[in-house]
A and B are shown apart, each in its own frame.
Chain A
Amino acid sequence: MKTNIKTRLIVIFAVLAVCVVGIFGIPQGVSGTALKQSLLNRIHLGLDLKGGMHLILQVKVDEAISAETDTDVAGLQSDLQRNGITGAVVSKPDANRADFIQIAGVPAAHNDDVRSLLESSYSSRFDIAPGVGNTWTLTMKPTVEGEAKQRALDQALEVIQTRTNTLGVSEPIIEPYQLGSYQILVELPGVDDLGRVKDVIQSTARLEAHEVISDQPWTDRQTALQALGGYVPPDAELLQSVPGAAAEGSPGEWYELKKIPIWGGRDIRDAQPGHNPNTNEPEVDFYLTSAAGDKFAAWTGANIGKYMAIVLDNRVQEVAVIKGQIRDQGNISGGGITEQRVKDLSMLLRTGALPASIDFLQETTVGPSLGADSIHQGVVASIVGMLTVMAFMLIYYRGAGINADLALFLNLVILLGFMGYSGATLTLPGIAGVILTIGMGVDSNVLIFERIREELRAGKSPSASVDQGFAHAWTTIVDTHVTTIVSAAILFIFGTGPVKGFAVTLTFGLLANLFTAVFVSRVIFDANLSRKLHGEPISI
């Protein structure tokens, strides 16, 4: 019996040691601050305790589809012309259907030519069908569309990951959000500059050069539309400029630009912050790829005297007349642009444009002060709760109360050890879970002790009562723990971050409790009994 107790005690101390290592790691020193530091290193704090941002983004994948079909429209138009089929107009008639292209006005003689052209070049990606009155329609195949959307999502994910790296966030989480379609979950611990983060993430950073169609700008969109006869031609678009785009001090005006850019997006090879050699103001210097550079040189050479607009994120940044051939260099400056903005913008251009724009669906911010407050309050509540329970157990169960208190303390140590080893995140509801574990954990002890008291009252000997107490209570303890753990499992599956943290600590706490309330308490009772004479009463 004695050796049995000794073995079991060794097991308990071994578990205790393992868990302490789990909590603190190998501590640098034993001072208060050193221990606190190693504790913080091992236990992951959730966003609601550490502070930071949690975002859910919607990638507007339809825009990516739209961009692709725009290129297809331009390509189709030039293909038709090259094959001598004049008079046909390619367009996207429905603004809400990005995947639907229509060719109208095909002369009857060329119908077969059109069909063979479409089937040879476009049938892999589009479903082709003839329409009424010499029209043809192309609808993007669903599989192709799905793939394109997924590609846009993956690309957006990659771009955002690269961008948040430059923010210097440690342990960011950027992943697809399972509960939505084409949505991204972003968690940035420790970030407190909301405006800058959102700019960095949301900016599509699409830099393009467009040919300017209109002779002169208009003051607002209404006037522009009127001048164009009430609607914008399908191959053009109306964009507003930032102040100072045309010349120093010019207001924000509206220009009519050719929709398909001369170059844009992936044609940008590099972008660096720099300074204007004349005014020493900060500016962004960007460089095109050689292929784009060639195309640009050809275009500028053929269009001297015309106007060109540099467009960033659908706002005209600069309008200038083409004086000579430009190869592959340009800059963005003016408009009071700051050093910080120049640095950010260069980074955005370097990491690449987002394939589609981003909407924010949800944003949760926890400032570091709120996080610190929450930790403080949680810890105070835990300590008060624990002390109250411990005091009560001592008063009500006397000697056995010490037993329960030791088991409770060990329970918490094992719980924190689990947290340390598994790398699970501690959230504010998680701290509440710890507090709940204290209450529910001591439940098992009460169950056993009450049973022991009952058996003692019925006249059994102390050791028999202890035996009976543990035996009868075991079934109920398992039942109650399993039901609560099942509850916690469901919360883990359906809950968000903080709630998941609660489910995790509750489960760990209850599992630890199965060990401490039964095994450890039993060992303490047995050790106590072995030191007493047969029949001598125990303190309970």
Chain B
Amino acid sequence: MELFHDPKIDWLGKKWYFLGFSLIFSVAGLLSILFWHHLPLDVDFRGGTVVRVKFAAHPDADRIRAAIDKAGLRDARIQQPYGPAANNEVLITLSLSETSQSALDQGRVTIISALTQNYSGDAAPNQGKLDLDNVGAVALTSWLEQNDPEHLGNTPEAETRYQNQASAVLNYRDAQHSGIIDSMNDLRGVVDPAILNALEQNAWLSGFHFQGGEIVGAQVGKVLQHQAELATLYSLGGMLVYLWFRFELIYGVAAVVACFHDTIITVGAFSLANREISLTVIAAILTLIGYSMNDTIVVFDRIRENLRLSRREPLADLVNRSINQTLSRTVLTSGLTFLTVLSLFLFGGEVLRGFSFALVIGILIGTYSSIAVAAPMLVAYQDWRARRGRTASLPAAKKARV
């Protein structure tokens, strides 16, 4: 099976279409960054509080907001991640101004107690009881020891036994049911009847489960921002140096320009889609810079090889031929990498959503840019040199060293 049987497309002839396409997306992205959604930063960089909560039933955003308002937190942002894996999860965000330095976790504590007291319909009579949806291993074990439903007294054997029973409950809840127990009845095969009885009478299920959270003070946010900037600069600089070393400078510059183009469009896409940029997203962007560079190198390698073989062919034709020769490979590898990253985007879960979004966009644009940005730039540079009266041959670059 072969997708591209000897393609003969005039790529450079279409360069104005490509330029137009690139301009539209870059400008749209830049405009969004400047005027519309600006640059949505994740709590890593922005500072503030993020709390992840999973609900037993489909969460009612209004009820959540009402519950949290009652506790005095007016400016909480409630996001329900969309997509195929919605899973009744909610992200509650508090801004930095509501996150004080001296009591960093105050916001999280308030949110959880607000939900405990105000969210569930039957919250009121159950206040003060053990919440089985949110209890931890140590707390459950000591609750069991204190209540002693199997009347074992205060022996080490009792401690071990209750520890095991607590682990069984928590294993059932966390490893198998994402943190929510639908009803006490479900524990019937998991723990002994006496313990189940005690739980049914003296514990309750609040219907929500605190999955995790992140609280970042202003200081740490700034430091991480700075680290991300340094990493990006070093990456681009390193690429340029490496390419200069392997090829001529103009190849390096063309490749770096293509990478800038990719970065701007990807970051613009985040702004347009109002997705937040976190540290892992920066990692994804740096990776796709590397990937775009790869792609560009493949085309450049072929151009360099062809240059050595035929000196008389007009550069535009040679570049076209080089792209056509590598087209099969370029489309295939991008396609395959795209498939794997798409799988990550669809099935990889909420935590990696931003990361995989960056890669999905980045791989498409990275492939496009090698053909539509880097190659035409080479030809344009050579045309510019020719017009200045120099010899019209592109520096064939140093002999490839391995």
Contacts and interface: CB of A to CB of B under 8 A. Distances in A.
B331 to A, nearest CB: 10
Contacts of A361: 101, 104, 216-217, 219-220
A180 to B, nearest CB: 7
Contacts of A263: none
Contacts of B54: 369
B301 interface: yes
A429 B279 CA distance: 11
Contact of B283 (A431, A440, A482, A502): A502
A432 B352 CA distance: 8
Interface of B, secondary structure class, is: helix
A141 to B, nearest CB: 28
Contacts of B246: 479
A147 interface: no
Interface string A457-476: 00000000000000010111
A368 B175 contact: yes
B298 A480 contact: yes
A367 B339 contact: no
Contacts of B168: none
A480 B294 contact: yes
B249 interface: no
Contacts of B282: 499
B40 interface: no
Interface string A439-453: 110110011001001
A432 B212 contact: no
A161 B216 CA distance: 23
A369 B89 CA distance: 12
Contact of A385 (B109, B242, B344, B352): B344
A438 B344 CA distance: 12
B212 A366 contact: yes
Count chain A CB atoms within 10 A of each CB in B170, B177, B234, B294 and give the residue with the most: B294
A377 interface: yes
B227 A179 contact: yes
9 contacts: A193-B138, A362-B215, A369-B177, A381-B344, A432-B344, A436-B340, A440-B291, A495-B231, A496-B279
A435 interface: yes
B252 to A, nearest CB: 12
9 A-B pairs closest in CB distance: A369-B179, A439-B337, A377-B349, A487-B290, A192-B136, A494-B231, A385-B340, A439-B340, A385-B343
B209 A367 contact: yes
B328 interface: yes
A360 B101 CA distance: 7
Interface of B: 1-3, 52, 54, 85, 101-102, 104-105, 109, 136-139, 142, 170, 173-175, 177-179, 209-217, 219-220, 223-224, 227-228, 230-231, 234-235, 238-239, 242, 246, 279-280, 282-283, 286-287, 289-291, 293-294, 297-298, 301, 305, 325, 328-329, 332-333, 336-341, 343-344, 346-349, 351-352, 355-356, 359, 400, 402
A56 B344 contact: no
B321 to A, nearest CB: 13
Given A360-B105, A446-B336, A483-B290, 9 more contacts: A58-B219, A179-B223, A196-B138, A381-B343, A384-B343, A428-B349, A479-B246, A491-B286, A491-B287
Contact of B213 (A364, A443, A476): A364
A193 B212 CA distance: 12
Count chain B CB atoms within 10 A of each CB in A362, A435, A446, A496 and give the residue with the most: A362
Contacts of A428: 349, 351-352
A370 B217 contact: no
Given A381-B347, A479-B246, A486-B242, A435 B341 contact: yes
Interface in A352-384: 359-370, 372-374, 377-378, 380-382, 384
A506 interface: yes
A436 B336 contact: no
A491 B179 contact: no
Given A385-B343, A443-B337, A368 B170 contact: yes
A388 B355 contact: no
A495 B279 contact: yes
Given A389-B336, A479-B301, A487 B289 contact: yes
Contacts of A491: 231, 283, 286-287
A395 interface: yes
A231 interface: no
A186 B195 CA distance: 36
B334 to A, nearest CB: 9
Contacts of A74: none
Contacts of B238: 486, 490
Contacts of B3: 396
B239 A483 contact: yes
Contact of A377 (B215, B301, B348): B348
Contacts of A363: 104-105, 213-215
Given A490-B235, A491-B283, A495-B279, A180 B219 contact: yes
A385 B339 contact: yes
Nearest to A364: B214
A48 interface: yes
A57 to B, nearest CB: 10
Nearest to B223: A179
A475 B329 contact: no
Contact of B355 (A365, A396, A429): A429
Nearest to B104: A360
A484 B294 contact: yes
B333 A446 contact: yes
A435 B349 CA distance: 14
Given A362-B216, A381-B347, A446-B332, A435 B290 contact: no
A369 B279 contact: no
Nearest to B142: A340
A384 B341 CA distance: 10
Given A367-B211, A446-B333, A499-B279, A388 B343 contact: yes
A367 B52 CA distance: 10
B217 A360 contact: yes
